[in-house]
């Protein structure tokens, strides 16, 4: 019985792959590899290309990682080394609460509260300040809507922050005390102990945790759907609306009337699954190596 | 000596900078938390009213409640937990008790961890292909099935983790008394890991009560409520997160208010569940 239950897990996994491939078949036959490299997305003319959603997914995740990685590690260091003891638990729990909030809540909050504020107090000043600078001007230029690719990336970063800081904190705690004491004994500052002793010691764990977080960011649906703006084109400005794989599926699936349209959306899902599978596998392998080292 | 003091100064400066940065990182996280919870409380509490629980979702422009959505969410979650928990517990038991180091266990563990973090919208697509296309229509059953697929990996993971913590001496003692392995597991290891397994189930409930993406094209949504549960499950069914999504993205002010009220309800439920789970876990450790 226990064996059957364990096999059920494998069957579900296999079922996911088979059903996605099966569902994506018509689109794969119609567009071939060109699906990944074309930007056109026109349900009326039955032309579908995945470039814009793929671009959106990658860009939002990159923005999220660029923000969440340093901040998450910073939080972990603060909690393990610098925070006064009585505050450690409450602050740790508070950060973990961020992970417990469902993604639709981030979505509705981002849409109604954060985006208007962000547009008024960040996007407009930044866009005006950078307008004459060549590259930055394009990257952060154009009309500001509040919602858009950058906003989605920012909200994603808040969502994955707790994952990175939780894993980093766990691995920082595995650093043997003697190692730290030895470094302090040589006269190192806290910064030097952290940067040159602790983080190199547990770099695999930190990278593994970051990959797990990246996996979440890539597949996150509801929060992104609310704030990304759902526009199927690749805009040069990060402030412009875009779309991501998951947002496109969530938004259009129930409206997809033709067989080919639905199939194209399922193929998007298949692509997302493949991408996250690769990222998560890397994360697993790294964390596994960490487990083994711990055993030695 | 002068070169030395310059070096000291630089190192001390770097250290100050670093401490300042990691403090501001922690502050950054806390500020967002207060921002989000604050916004939620302000907009949510003003929208709360007793009719939320007694009236069904209204058409645009009129007042109403969320009763059908709350009912749908509870119903689908209960079914998902009832279906998913046994499978999850048995699979976790297999991994921890029967085949801890076998190759099959390694693969199952690996696949389970992938499923645990796989995008939930993919699960929605899977159930759509599996059930909705076959049955020809959206239904509460499909929604419950999608949630089941999300429950299983969570329960598998926590069950295995908790069973591994059970000391081997207990198992050996029971086996030495002549108990067969199945009885040892039933009467000894499960008992010892009980609190942990309950924690896992609570976490799974917390996880699915906020899930939206897998319900969008399985349960779809429904503006009514069928008291004939068996028949109702076979029709499209409303869910709280689904209604929030639908109402928040619409243009009507009344519906926005309901969406906020729903958001507050969900967050309160989820946070309450995770706090209960956490206290259970801590009680076990001490």
| Residue ranges in chain B assigned as alpha helix (H) | 2-45, 67-93, 103-117, 120-127, 133-135, 140-165, 168-176, 181-184, 190-192, 194-209, 213-216, 229-233, 240-249, 253-285
- Give me the mean pLDDT over the B13-41 stretch: 90
Contact B126 A16 (CB under 8 A): yes
Q: If DSSP codes are grouped into helix, strand and coil, which group holds residue A42?
A: strand
Contact B40 A79 (CB under 8 A): no
Tokens of A121: 């107090």
- Contact list, B271 vs chain A (CB under 8 Å): 97, 100-101
- Contact list, B12 vs chain A (CB under 8 Å): 189
pLDDT tens column, B250-268: 888 888 989 999 999 999 9
- Contact list, B24 vs chain A (CB under 8 Å): 74
- Contact list, B241 vs chain A (CB under 8 Å): 102, 104, 222
pLDDT tens column, B51-92: 888 888 888 877 888 999 999 999 999 999 999 999 999 999
Q: Write down the pLDDT at residue B6.
A: 84
Q: Write down the pLDDT at residue B284.
A: 58
Give DSSP secondary structure letters for B238-254: --HHHHHHHHHHSS-HH
Tokens of B115: 């499923």
CA dihedral B76, B82, B84, B90 (to 10 degrees): 180
Q: Write down the pLDDT at residue A10.
A: 93
Q: Given a cut of 70, is residue B158 above it in pLDDT?
A: yes
Mean pLDDT by 10 residues, chain A (296 residues): 86 94 90 86 86 93 94 90 83 84 92 90 84 78 82 93 89 87 88 87 87 91 90 85 91 86 92 94 84 61
Count contacts between A and B (CB, < 8 Å): 252
Percent of chain B with pLDDT over 90: 42
Contact B212 A20 (CB under 8 A): no
Q: What is the nearest CA distance from B248 to chain A, expressed in angstroms?
A: 7
Lowest mean pLDDT among A66-75, A180-189, B175-184, B226-235: B226-235
- Of A248, A239, A279, which Cα lies nearest the Cα of A266? A248
Interface test with A, best of B27, B91, B219 (most A CBs within 10 A): B91
- Of A242, A244, A226, which Cα lies nearest the Cα of A148? A242
Q: Write down the pLDDT at residue A280.
A: 92
Rounded to 10 deg, the angle between the A51-77 and B2-45 helix axes is 120
Contact by Cβ (8 Å): B81, B244: no
- Of A288, A149, A105, which Cα lies nearest the Cα of A211? A288
Q: What is the nearest CA distance from B55 to chain A, expressed in angstroms?
A: 23
- Contact list, A254 vs chain B (CB under 8 Å): 216-217, 220
Contact B94 A250 (CB under 8 A): no
Q: Write down the pLDDT at residue A139.
A: 78
Contact B18 A2 (CB under 8 A): no
Interface test with B, best of A105, A113, A286 (most B CBs within 10 A): A105
Q: Given a cut of 80, is residue B7 above it in pLDDT?
A: yes
Q: Write down the pLDDT at residue B3.
A: 64
Q: What is the nearest CA distance from A79 to chain B, expressed in angstroms?
A: 8
């Amino acid at each position: 019985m226990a064996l059957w239950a364990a096999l059920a897990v494998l069957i579900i996994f296999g079922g996911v792959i088979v059903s996605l491939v099966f569902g994506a078949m018509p689109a794969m036959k119609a567009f071939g590899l060109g699906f990944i490299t074309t930007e056109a997305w026109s349900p009326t003319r039955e032309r579908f290309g995945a470039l814009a959603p793929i671009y959106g997914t990658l860009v939002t995740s990159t923005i999220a990682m660029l923000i969440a990685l340093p901040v998450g590690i910073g939080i972990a260091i603060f909690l393990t080394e610098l925070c006064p003891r009585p505050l450690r638990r409450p602050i740790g729990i508070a950060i973990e609460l961020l992970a417990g909030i469902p993604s639709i809540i981030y979505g509705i909050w981002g849409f109604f509260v954060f985006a208007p504020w962000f547009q008024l107090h960040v996007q407009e000043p930044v866009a005006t300040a950078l307008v004459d600078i060549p590259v930055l001007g394009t990257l952060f230029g154009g009309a500001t809507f509040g919602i858009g690719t950058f906003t989605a990336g920012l909200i994603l970063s808040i969502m994955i922050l707790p994952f990175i800081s939780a894993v980093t904190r766990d691995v920082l705690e595995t650093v043997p005390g003697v190692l730290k004491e030895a470094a302090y004994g040589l006269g190192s500052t806290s910064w030097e102990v952290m940067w040159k002793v602790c983080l190199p010691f547990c770099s695999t764990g930190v990278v593994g945790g970051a990959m797990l977080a990246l996996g979440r960011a890539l597949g996150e649906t509801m929060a992104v759907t609310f704030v990304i703006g759902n526009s199927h084109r690749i805009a040069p400005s990060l402030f412009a609306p875009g779309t991501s794989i998951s947002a496109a599926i969530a938004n259009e699936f129930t409206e997809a009337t033709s067989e080919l349209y639905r199939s194209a959306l399922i193929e998007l899902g298949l692509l997302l699954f493949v991408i996250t599978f690769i990222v998560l596998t890397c994360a697993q392998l790294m964390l596994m190596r960490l487990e083994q080292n711990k055993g030695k | 000596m002068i070169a030395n003091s310059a070096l000291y100064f630089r190192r001390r400066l770097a250290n100050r900078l670093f401490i300042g940065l990691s403090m501001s990182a922690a502050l950054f996280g806390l500020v967002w938390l207060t921002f989000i919870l604050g916004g939620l409380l302000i907009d949510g509490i003003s929208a709360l009213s007793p009719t939320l629980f007694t009236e069904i979702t209204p058409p645009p422009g009129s007042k109403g409640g969320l009763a059908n959505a709350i009912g749908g969410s509870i119903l689908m979650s209960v079914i998902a937990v009832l279906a998913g928990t046994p499978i999850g517990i048995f699979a976790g038991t297999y991994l921890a008790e029967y085949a801890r180091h076998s190759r099959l266990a390694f693969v199952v563990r690996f696949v389970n961890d992938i499923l645990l973090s796989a995008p939930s919208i993919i699960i929605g697509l899977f159930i759509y292909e599996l059930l909705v296309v076959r049955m020809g229509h959206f239904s509460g059953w499909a929604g419950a099935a999608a949630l089941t697929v999300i429950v299983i990996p969570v329960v598998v993971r926590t069950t295995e983790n908790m069973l591994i913590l059970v000391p081997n001496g207990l198992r050996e003692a029971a086996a030495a008394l002549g108990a067969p392995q199945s009885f040892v597991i039933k009467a000894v290891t499960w008992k010892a890991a009980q609190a942990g397994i309950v924690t896992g189930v609570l976490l799974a409930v917390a996880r699915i009560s906020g899930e939206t993406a897998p319900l969008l094209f399985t349960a779809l949504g429904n503006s009514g409520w069928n008291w004939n549960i068996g028949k109702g499950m076979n029709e499209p069914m409303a869910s709280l997160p689904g209604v929030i999504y639908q109402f928040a993205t619409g243009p009507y002010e009344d519906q926005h208010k309901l969406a906020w009220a729903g958001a507050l309800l969900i967050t309160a439920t989820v946070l309450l569940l995770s706090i209960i789970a956490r206290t259970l876990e801590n009680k076990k450790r001490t």
